[in-house]
Amino acid sequence: MWLVLWAWLAWLLPGPAMAQDDWLRDSWRDVIAGSPFDEPLQVDSQARSHSVSGSVHARVHQPFERLADELSSPAAWCEILFLHLNVKGCLHGPGGSTAGTALALFVGRQDQVDPAHAERLDLRWRVVAREPRYLDVALEGDEGPYGTRAFRLQLRAVPDDDEHSLVQLRYSLVFGMRARLALRGYFTFGGRDLVGFTLEGTGADGQPTHVGGTRGMIERNVMRFYLALEAHLDTRALPEAERLEASLDRWFTMTMRYPRQLFETDRATYLDQKRREYERQQALAREAAPGGR
């Protein structure tokens, strides 16, 4: 009798996993509630002597099951990453049972088009956890762009209500000697005036000042990846032939909400470059396929 009653109560009461999901939901809601933007999202970053990380917490208009189904695919992540203006191509293929799926990311300057001439990052994509009310997906690599190390892009998500999900997207890098020297020159010259989203104080002119340096850099890029995620999800219902163009246009439109941080080129130039990059990416995919030349 007591065993039956105990089993019934255990079924009724939330277990440890459900309690953890509720804790994440409540804590992320608190983070997002302090958003300085006109949409439910928050950006933050941390920098140490040899590493930097940035995070976006956001509430997205996507039911959790639909979001989890879509983001549990390496092909979807290649489509998401490709929208970033410094990503020139993305290929995915099978990986080992412990490594997940191999994913090749080609990165380069904004004005560089051909993936074959870009820097290649070999990443491991895997679903860390897929539960009824929790998703954890990670992309990891030993090497990052421009001499950095320990590339990691991680997405976690929980349901908020029947029509919305809460997500945390975190991007982190470790700096090697080459990267530190390159960044020192970059922030001295071309990147000197570039900023992130976190407010640091008020300038002599009375205007708010935003974080710069490595924190500004990681905040700009984690926001670009987050907006790519949102653009991808927003356009999934379209016919396949229309999705690429629609997601590119959607991504650029969303970045223009934050021109101080994210503007680098005009819409026509971005779209033209991405169309050419996509053609070259498809050619690389054909060459990499079994029987390709």
> By C-alpha distance, which of 26, 53, 48 is closest to 198?
53
Evaluated on CA atoms 235, 239, 243, 249, the torsion sign reads negative
Query: Do the beta carbons of residue 227 and residue 254 sit within 8 Å?
Result: yes
Question: Has this prediction a pTM greater than 0.75?
Answer: yes
> Which residue matches tokens 């949409």?
39
Return the pLDDT at 291. 61
Residue type, 122: D
φ, ψ (nearest 5 deg) of residue 101: -110, 130
Domains of the chain, residue spans: 15-177+205-288
Q: Tokens standing for 155? A: 């997405």
Return the pLDDT at 96. 44
Specify the DSSP element, H or E, that contains 286: helix 267-288
Q: What is the mean pLDDT of each run of 10 residues along the chain (293 residues)?
A: 42 53 94 95 95 98 98 96 97 66 92 82 96 97 90 98 98 88 78 89 84 95 99 96 98 97 96 96 84 57
Cα–Cα dist 22/244, whole Å:
35
Return the pLDDT at 247. 99
> By C-alpha distance, which of 155, 165, 171 is closest to 87?
171
Residue type, 1: M
Cα–Cα dist 211/216, whole Å:
5
> Which residue matches tokens 């005009």?
266
Give the SS3 label for residue 268: helix
Query: Do the beta carbons of residue 58 and residue 40 sit within 8 Å?
Result: yes
For residue 119, what are the β-bridge partners? 107
Q: Which residues of 139-153 are buried (b: 16+ CB within 10 A; e: fewer)?
A: bbbebbbbbbbbbbb
Return the pLDDT at 181. 81
DSSP string covering 225-248: HHHHHHHHHHTTTS-HHHHHHHHH
Any alpha helices (H) in 46-176, and if so which ranges? 64-71, 74-82
Specify the DSSP element, H or E, that contains 88: strand 87-93
Return the pLDDT at 95. 52
The count of other CB atoms within 10 Å of the CB of residue 126 is 17
Cα–Cα dist 14/132, whole Å:
13
DSSP string covering 167-209: EEEEEEEEE-HHHHHHHHHHHHTTTTT---SSEEEE-TTS-EE
Evaluated on CA atoms 193, 197, 201, 203, the torsion sign reads positive
CATH of domain 15-177+205-288: 3.30.530.20
